Amino acid sequence: YLMVNIPQFQLLVYEHDSLMWKCNVVVGKEIHKTAIFQGTVRYIVFSPYWNVPSSILNKEIMPALRRNPNYLESHDMEWYDGRLRQKPGPENALGKVKFLFPNNFKMYLHDSPSKSLFEQEKRTFSHGCIRVQEARKLAVYLLRNDKNWPESKIDDAMNSQKEQTVTLKEPLPVSIVYFTAWVDREGRINFRDDIYQRDSRLMEALFAKK
């Protein structure tokens, strides 16, 4: 299974309760909190389009378009079927691959062209979705038992600039969690900043006088 611990800013990959590997992630800003829930990764989309959400269109892109009439062209965007989308390519906001686990929050894991953000200590930069530092490695891992998808074919699909969706033969559970304190496998206690100020509300609920 996969687990993303939001305050830890990391994706962790487990097999039979053993940690196989982990990597840095970027999560949602305070005003665009990443949701806490469980799902199942069922699809990989190589060279994805980015279908711009209406909230980002209205609050960010339309004002930018009024300032710069060439904004869409310079960002490789186009209108399609009444919606705005960004074409596949190296500058696409989703990077070269995204991982879908159907949910009511419209959240997913994806690559990113902004690699430098993964080196920041506090990685709250997204609109709610989770950016994965080692997206290629995750794609290889999810398709490791599918003989139709060797690494060379994965690389080709990621760089084809032509969207392609793959249904996983072995869907994988994913948990998006929010742990600000835990004990690791070496018995060490870990603490992380309460980036969404959830601990104080939990404390109030636990210790409120009845």
Determine the average pLDDT of the residues in 65-93: 94
For the record, the structure tokens of 96 come out as 């070269």
Cβ count within 10 A of residue 28: 20
pTM assigned to the model:
0.92
pLDDT band, very low/low/confident/very high, at 210 (cuts 50, 70, 90): low
Cα distance between residue 39 and residue 102, in whole Å:
7
Determine the average pLDDT of the residues in 113-119: 96
Least reliable range by pLDDT among 89-98, 157-166, 199-208? 199-208
Determine the average pLDDT of the residues in 60-80: 94
Cα distance between residue 74 and residue 63, in whole Å:
15
Q: C-alpha dihedral over 70, 84, 98, 102, to 10 degrees?
A: 160
Cα distance between residue 89 and residue 80, in whole Å:
17
pLDDT > 70: percent of the chain: 99
Mean pLDDT of the chain: 95
What's the pLDDT at 169?
A: 96
Least reliable range by pLDDT among 48-52, 89-93, 136-140, 142-146? 89-93
What's the pLDDT at 42?
A: 98
